[in-house]
Amino acid sequence: MKTDKYIKDVARRLDNVVGDGKDGHGNGHDNNDNEFKDYDDEYYLNIESEPLRFAYYRHVRVEQCNDEYRKKTFECVHDSITQDELDYYLKRKLRVPPEQRYQDKKEDWFFHESSWYSRGLDTTGYDGQGCNQFTGCIPDCKFYLPYGRIEDDKVIQEHKEVEEYYRKRNAIINIDINTKGFIEFAKQFYNI
């Protein structure tokens, strides 16, 4: 079974953890060499998933949340982010070919500048103008053409804007991964 193979792989990876995790990436290596983190990232990028350490980051953010309602609904998970997560998400976005990025954005009409939602009509709904799920993009939309590209520099620029958003809110945090705590979390997470 595929799930069993995945769990065994996670268990093997946890058993191989060494050091005290001072590098803060949950790979158990106490040096500053990014080789191990990059290897870990490559593994998860290849299987189109996220490193387990991200689940741990979210877990820590929930544990640190003071608002009980936001804690119960896990809303506080999105209040902050680590630089590690931001870097990983950029790597993941850059792996998508420019043509596919365009098609993905084209399909996401809801967030086009001309959509009724982006024009602030979310309470009244579609007004017969702009991009929508029925007729697609309007000629004035930058995604009107059937084919296009979103180049790497645009992805990087958008990523910098997201990073700046978190910086202005002082919401890029550092979560040190205590190897013992991370291993216990992973064992509980995967019911090992």
pTM for this prediction: 0.71
DSSP the chain: -HHHHHHHHHHHHHHT--S--TTSSSS---SS-THHHHHHHHHHHHTT---HHHHHHHHHHHHH---HHHHHTTGGGGS-EEHHHHHHHHHHHHTS-HHHHHHHHHH-GGGSTTSTTTTT-TTT---S-S-BTTTB--TTSTT-SS-----HHHHHHHHHHHHHHHHHTT-EE-----HHHHHHHHHHHTT-
Q: What is the rounded average pLDDT of the residues 11-19?
A: 51
pLDDT tens column, 95-131: 999 999 999 999 999 899 988 888 888 777 778 888 8
